Structure 1
């Protein structure tokens, strides 16, 4: 009886696979699947060529604004769902190279302009499409258009390799812009490898913590602008990014850590646009970066897992979703190797502190690090010990979260910096601070409370000491209205030979160099500054 069941199950599995393979092959050649299914598939596929592009516009109540096969709809309403009565969507025809018939024309370039672009040398002509789009079509060559995306706003950026964003917005929609990929993504696969972090020749390694950028789709509105720039309208994102860029160029960090609320969800109907502006800051300067999420990141159109999946595809990103069995998205470890060998000199832990409480009645406010995450952290720390023993120097450890731990409220403990607002830590305490101390982590740093920028020394009997720091809010899209708060970022400098971690802050204006500089760890031991 058991053999018969196994044999039947095997036969069903084989038949299912063969049926799937047959449908797939037929669909590749003859498109037997319904167009509705095709349009739900990912927009971009390797080895595909764009052969045409068009915009379909319609009244919301009368049509779904979807062109029939073989058109594929890019699932972004050009009006960002804000038009009262109309929708508009970009559609493309895309084909695998083997599907092209004879000298079937493909799209070689795309421009957005009111006027017809100048003719090209080969006699190919520009063809006009809706919304100010002009396409150049001709015989297939290696630099044909292979993907099209839609981003929004006058400050939109596309940091991806081989993508070009069009400066001129479409004539339909809400500052909608086309971004175009030229050539096959296979040619840039090597460049997408995650960078390996290493202590420099000087023995030092510098980390910039950027907390609470609160970037929007478009330039965004400033909140609690200070100082007020006279005769200038405050645009949140340009001002924020210009300020952060200034210190990236001055401080020249080896790593950027973004500790949540990169995206201001409520003003980001297209979170991809906001995320790309963030990443572009670091990619342009060849700075690796790692991210975790806050309570606002996924309040736009993308959830945490989608944001992480997108971030992972970007150049220089070290971000990882972490184990699926552990609560949250973004529980992972990054190690910084010694200068000459692949031995970890520094271990960085990243944990998702989630968003809002799951139990408003008993623990109102914000969520907390879960017991399963604490266990994951302890297991990771234990599993890394054999690698760490290979390092002959003093091994250092840091941790990054978004929402502060309950111990950040211990106002009687020594602290350095400004405590301007109430600490919005969770009411439930999962004792993650004790796990950090017992593992020998010297510093944990967070964001979330924008106007707090202190480092507080946590002391508990029977446990090593721990510095708990804030990054300070960097973004003008988030609040900052506590006693004329000036936006800021936090720096950490690791001196591997001496086992030292030093930290300081840099402010947007009234720059006085290193603000509140302090040594938090020296010779591998937490210091009472």
Structure 2
């Protein structure tokens, strides 16, 4: 196995280019200097500005080589009484460099750029500079801020930690859908107060972060599921927005998983799903996975919920699928890419393997419940025969015009419920009529179809001129009784909203219709 060289920062600078200034004014050795691929003006100006970082391999350092030991931005820091002095760099950057002492444990090993007055960095050992770079940019452009990694990145302390039910057999999930974070604070245009009165426009993302934090503090879940459209479309820096979504979860040491929505990777400068998944995978408490390469999409994976330690007995399986994005269509506007056959095959094979393992384990006499999550609803969410048992349909379901029949595969595999996002003001749970078998055998099992409801203040939460409160969906499995319950947490509501029993003793419960 090839050894990955450990790199350390030896210097940094900012280069500004414009139509009237040639690139030769900032000539740097590409073997040493590496550009951070983010325009510090966020592509809003004829000028562009870029942070360049000089890197060296630790194994090649000599005693006379200088390393960056600290970085500041803004006013000149006071120089230490003895030793090296602070050196000025463009953009209001100050670097403190000293000669290599045989170790890089205290040195700067990586530098990144995040944007916005509300930027956060949840990565361990990273320090986000409080003062922005001094670039003389337009007032409306989100400020650029350096984030600095000191020393070698340490392995995640939570790596390999399994999901487990509590001692009472229960396991709680908070589903957060459609946060629609942007680069900087964003704008909320349709908030209302506790009495439904319209509120003026306000900063969106701080409200979303606060709302997520309050829900997590009330529910104290065992897992958070981000159900897609974490990011708004066409934002200039995905990482800054993504970090804001996950920080309140990471701060509370809660494991989380995510699926992507149609907007997450829309835009010229938006990071791809692959790049976003790589970021998510490396964050503390993340259980996100890209999934098999031969399966269409990014983020087709499953998680098992185990019995209390030290048991390795799986009691529940959670499936996650990429529902892709918008496509050109002559049939429907908007229209969306359907779930692909490779995804259905992967799910079928995986669920059959899980069921076979469960049936072979003679020590496993508990009811095994499975749930699935994706962003864009399946066509069945808009079926005219759908019976809404709880919550509301406040807008039409936007789903693919082509039905690839993932629903049938989920039903056949015995999945109890499917959670989605996408249509922000829909928050219902519903069932399709039970289908009788042609040979007269027992009717097919049924699958609950549940919307999460919009959680983000940067996404719409109104329809037909009527505004609604933001919300999240909560799922609670009780593996000791084989039951599944759900309810919602809604802005300003002190109690659970629309509590509903979905499954009892492993069987879907159909409450009386409304």
Q: Counterpart of 1:191 in 2: which secondary structure?
A: coil
Distance 1:296 1:523, change over 3 A: same
Give 1:434 shift.
Answer: 1.3
Task: Give CA-to-partner distance per residue, 1:275-332, whole Å, 9 cap, x none.
Answer: 1111212111101110111110001421111111221121211111111211111111
Distance 1:397 1:60, change over 3 A: farther
Which residue of structure 2 aligns with residue 242 of structure 1? 210
Task: Give CA-to-partner distance per residue, 1:457-498, whole Å, 9 cap, x none.
Answer: 123413211110000011111111122211100001111101
Which residue of structure 2 aligns with residue 6 of structure 1? none
Which residue of structure 2 aligns with residue 401 of structure 1? 374
Q: Which aligned segments of 4 or more residues in structure 1 are displaced greater than 4 angstroms? A: 228-233
Which residue of structure 2 aligns with residue 168 of structure 1? 131
Give 1:407 shift.
Answer: 1.2
Distance 1:61 1:454 in 2: 57
Pairing partner for 1:130 from 90, 105, 108: 90
Distance 1:308 1:61 in 2: 39
Distance 1:66 1:419 in 2: 57
Task: Please give the root-mean-square deviation of Cα atoms over the aligned residues, in Å.
Answer: 2.1
Give 1:194 shift.
Answer: 4.0
Which residue of structure 2 aligns with residue 27 of structure 1? none
Task: Give CA-to-partner distance per residue, 1:208-253, whole Å, 9 cap, x none.
Answer: 0000000001111213222389997511110111011111111111
Runs of 5+ consecutive residues of structure 1 not aligned to the other structure: 1-20, 25-44
Q: Counterpart of 2:462 in 1: which secondary structure?
A: coil
Distance 1:144 1:404, change over 3 A: same
Query: Matches of residues 150-169 of structure 1 in structure 2 within 5 Å?
Result: 150-169=113-132
Which residue of structure 1 aligns with residue 287 of structure 2? 318
Which residue of structure 1 aligns with residue 327 of structure 2? 357
Pairing partner for 1:522 from 501, 504, 510: 504
Which residue of structure 2 aligns with residue 118 of structure 1? 78
Distance 1:46 1:193, change over 3 A: farther
Distance 1:231 1:525 in 2: 44
Which residue of structure 2 aligns with residue 5 of structure 1? none
Q: Counterpart of 2:106 in 1: which secondary structure?
A: coil
Give 1:361 shift.
Answer: 2.5
Distance 2:475 2:317 in 1: 14
Distance 1:46 1:318 in 2: 27
In terms of mean alpha carbon deviation, does 441-450 or 459-468 score higher? 459-468
Query: Matches of residues 356-395 of structure 1 in structure 2 within 5 Å?
Result: 356-357=326-327, 360-362=329-331, 365-389=335-359, 390=361, 391-395=364-368
Which residue of structure 2 aligns with residue 73 of structure 1? 35
Q: Are 2:277 and 1:308 aligned?
A: yes
Matched-pair contact (CA < 8 Å) for 2:187–2:201: no
Runs of 5+ consecutive residues of structure 2 not aligned to the other structure: 438-443
Distance 1:374 1:91, change over 3 A: same
Give 1:60 shift.
Answer: 4.1
Task: Give CA-to-partner distance per residue, 1:186-223, whole Å, 9 cap, x none.
Answer: xx115262431001112111100000000001111213
Distance 1:378 1:480, change over 3 A: same
Distance 1:229 1:54, change over 3 A: farther
Return the TM-score normalized by structure 2.
0.89
Higher helix share: 1
Give 1:121 shift.
Answer: 5.6
Return the TM-score normalized by structure 1.
0.87
Q: Counterpart of 1:256 in 2: which secondary structure?
A: strand
Query: Matches of residues 114-513 of structure 1 in structure 2 within 5 Å?
Result: 115-120=75-80, 122-140=82-100, 141=103, 142-172=105-135, 173=137, 174-185=142-153, 188-191=154-157, 193-227=159-193, 234-266=202-234, 268-300=235-267, 301-340=270-309, 341-357=311-327, 360-362=329-331, 365-389=335-359, 390=361, 391-412=364-385, 413-461=387-435, 462=437, 463-482=444-463, 483-509=466-492, 511-513=493-495
Distance 1:417 1:208, change over 3 A: same
Matched-pair contact (CA < 8 Å) for 1:456–1:469: yes
